[in-house]
Amino acid sequence: MTLEKTVLYNVSNHACTVGGILVSADFKTIDENLIDFIQLEDEEIVELVHKGESEALDYLIHKYRNFVRAKARSYFLIGADKEDIVQEGMIGLYKAIRDFKEDKLSSFKAFAELCITRQIITAIKTATRQKHIPLNSYVSLDKPIYDEESDRTLMDVISGAKVMDPEELIINQEEFDHIEVKMSELLSDLERKVLALYLDGQSYQEISEELNRHVKSIDNALQRVKRKLERYLEVREFSL
């Protein structure tokens, strides 16, 4: 199955179009045909998507929609509609579904988290460059209001309560920067280059041509990146 490259998120009718498939944003209206996927692991569902199961794609979009919206809600860009950021997150989710390859040492969720967050950050940086706006014009709504020791954030003031659903926990800007620094220490020079080009939207073939490497070498590098990210996130969660 060849998935379309465009992911459209329509907030007015709370629906998402992925690969030409219209998906309701209300999980309560999920088709009965999708119930069977609940018993499967995400990695198994992604494999079904790759085999052409459109309903599997529908299910994953349903499952991760709040996760994407939670991440998008964490950022604000002056002069831009907040739903533009949501759409970028959906594009990141699409890339994760499209390109994930099952690996016993990594999970789809960790890979999706990386793709979604990086897509949002990249989009914001691109927008600020185009509009000649300083990068500090966008802020994380999870940043403490008063000082670094405060637990009260701008998001708390806006919503009146913290998000408690584990599926909606997000990486704010400071945490993301820390992960980027840590990953730069863990990754080899080739892995860093491959990851940067991949997250910039290039295909395996394009990356292999730019780096003058075989496509299999590019795939292996990304698999190593996923394993290292998975291990790091597991250690980070254990230490929190």
Domain of residue 234, CATH code: 1.10.10.10
Question: How many independent structural domains does the chain possess?
Answer: 2
Q: Are residues 97 and 11 in the same domain?
A: yes
**CATH number of the domain that residue 137 is part of:** 1.10.1740.10
Q: What pLDDT was estimated at residue 233? A: 67
How far is the C-alpha of 85 from the C-alpha of 182, rounded, in Å?
25
Same domain, 70 and 130: yes
Render pLDDT for 209-232 as a digit per residue (tens, 0 to 9). Answer: 999 999 889 888 888 887 887 777
Is there a domain that residue 30 lies in?
yes
Question: Where among 141, 171, 201 does a domain terminate?
Answer: 171
Question: Is 13 among the domain residues?
Answer: yes
Max alpha carbon distance in the chain (Å)?
A: 52
Same domain? 113 vs 213: no
Determine, yes or no, domain membership for 196. Answer: yes
| Residue 180 maps to a domain | no
pLDDT of residue 129: 62
Task: Let me know if residue 45 belongs to a domain.
Answer: yes
Dihedral, CA atoms, 79, 13, 92, 143, nearest 10 degrees?
50
Does this model's pTM top 0.95? My answer is no
Same domain, yes or no: 109 and 192: no
Task: Domain of residue 119: give its range.
Answer: 7-171
| Together in a domain, 167 and 201 | no
pLDDT value of residue 126: 74
142, 27: one domain: yes
pLDDT of residue 240: 47
Same domain, 141 and 193: no
pLDDT for 211 = 93
Instruction: Measure the CA angle with vertex 156, ends 119 and 115; round to 5°.
Output: 15
Residue ranges of the chain with per-residue pLDDT less than 70: 1-35, 76-81, 103-105, 127-180, 233-240
Q: Are residues 30 and 87 located together in one domain of the fold?
A: yes
DSSP string, 103-138: -TT--HHHHHHHHHHHHHHHHHHHHHHHTT--GGGE
The pLDDT assigned to 15 comes to: 47
Together in a domain, 46 and 158? yes
- Asked whether residue 155 falls in the same domain as residue 214, the answer is no
